[in-house]
Amino acid sequence: MPDLTARAWECLNRARVTLNGRTLGVRASVDDTREKLNYDHCFVRDFAMCAPAFLLHGESGVVRDFLLTTIRMQAHTRRLRTFEPREGILPASFRPVPGESGTVLDADYGEESIARVTPIDSVFWWMITLRAYTVASGDTELANREECQEGIRRILRLVLEGSFEMFPTLLVPEGSFMIDRRMGVYGHPLEVQALFFMALRAADELLVGGDGLREAARERLRNLRMHVARFYWIDKDGLARLREETPDQFGEGVVNIYNVFPESIPDWVDDWLPDGAGYLAGNVGAGRIDFRFFAQGNLLAVTADLADDSEAHSLMNLYEARWRTLVGEAPLRLVYPALEGEAWRVVTGADTKNGPWQYHNGGSWPCLLWAFAPAAVAAGRMELLKRAVETAEERLDREDWPEYYDGRNEPRPGNRARSFQSWSMGGYLYARACLEDPAAADLYRWAERVTPEEATRT
- For residue 395, the minimal CB distance to ligand GLC (Å) is 20
> Cβ closer to ligand GLC: 191 or 204?
191
Select the residue whose beta carbon is closest to ligand GLC and give its number.
Answer: 28
> Cβ closer to ligand GLC: 45 or 64?
45
Q: Report the sign of the C-alpha dihedral through residues 130, 365, 85, 195, in that order.
A: negative
> Cβ closer to ligand GLC: 129 or 314?
129
Residues 353 and 416 sit within 8 Å (Cβ to Cβ): yes
Extract long-range pairs of 204-212: CB within 8 Å, 24+ residues apart. 205/131, 205/446, 206/127, 206/130, 206/131, 206/134, 206/143, 206/148, 206/152, 207/149, 207/152, 207/153, 207/156, 208/144, 208/149, 210/152, 210/153, 210/156, 211/153
- For residue 44, the minimal CB distance to ligand GLC (Å) is 8
Residues 55 and 63 sit within 8 Å (Cβ to Cβ): yes
Q: Which of 4, 31, 43, 176 binds ligand GLC (CB under 6 A)?
A: 43
Q: Considering only CA atoms, which of 168, 190, 163, 185 is closest in space to residue 118?
A: 185
The DSSP H or E segment spanning 101 is: none
Which positions from 140 through 179 interact with ligand GLC, judged by CB under 6 A?
Answer: 178
> Cβ closer to ligand GLC: 344 or 404?
404
Residue 276 per-residue DSSP state: T
- Measured CA to CA, the distance from residue 365 to residue 177 in angstroms comes to 15
- Measured CA to CA, the distance from residue 362 to residue 334 in angstroms comes to 6
The footprint of ligand GLC on this chain (CB under 6 A) covers a number of residues equal to 6
Q: Which stretch binds ligand GLC (CB under 6 A): 41-49, 135-143, 148-156, 182-190?
A: 41-49
Q: Which stretch binds ligand GLC (CB under 6 A): 42-50, 234-242, 324-332, 425-433?
A: 42-50
Q: Which of 11, 15, 24, 28 binds ligand GLC (CB under 6 A)?
A: 28
Residues 302 and 315 sit within 8 Å (Cβ to Cβ): yes
Q: Which of 46, 204, 311, 406 binds ligand GLC (CB under 6 A)?
A: 46
Q: Which stretch binds ligand GLC (CB under 6 A): 40-48, 95-103, 240-248, 441-449?
A: 40-48
Question: Going by DSSP bridges, is the β-strand pair 293-294/22-26 parallel, antiparallel, or unpaired?
Answer: unpaired
- For residue 437, the minimal CB distance to ligand GLC (Å) is 28
Residues 75 and 110 sit within 8 Å (Cβ to Cβ): no
Q: Which stretch binds ligand GLC (CB under 6 A): 38-46, 67-75, 229-237, 256-264?
A: 38-46
- 371 interacts with ligand GLC by CB under 6 A: no
> Cβ closer to ligand GLC: 91 or 168?
91
- For residue 28, the minimal CB distance to ligand GLC (Å) is 4
> Cβ closer to ligand GLC: 285 or 402?
402
Between the CA atoms of 213, 216, 217 and 220, what dihedral angle is there, to the nearest 10 degrees? Answer: -160
Question: Going by DSSP bridges, is the β-strand pair 93-99/42-43 parallel, antiparallel, or unpaired?
Answer: antiparallel
Which positions from 177 through 216 interact with ligand GLC, judged by CB under 6 A?
Answer: 178, 180
- For residue 45, the minimal CB distance to ligand GLC (Å) is 5
> Cβ closer to ligand GLC: 66 or 231?
66
Between the CA atoms of 309, 312, 316 and 317, what dihedral angle is there, to the nearest 10 degrees? Answer: 60
- Per CB under 6 A, residues contacting ligand GLC are 28, 43, 45-46, 178, 180
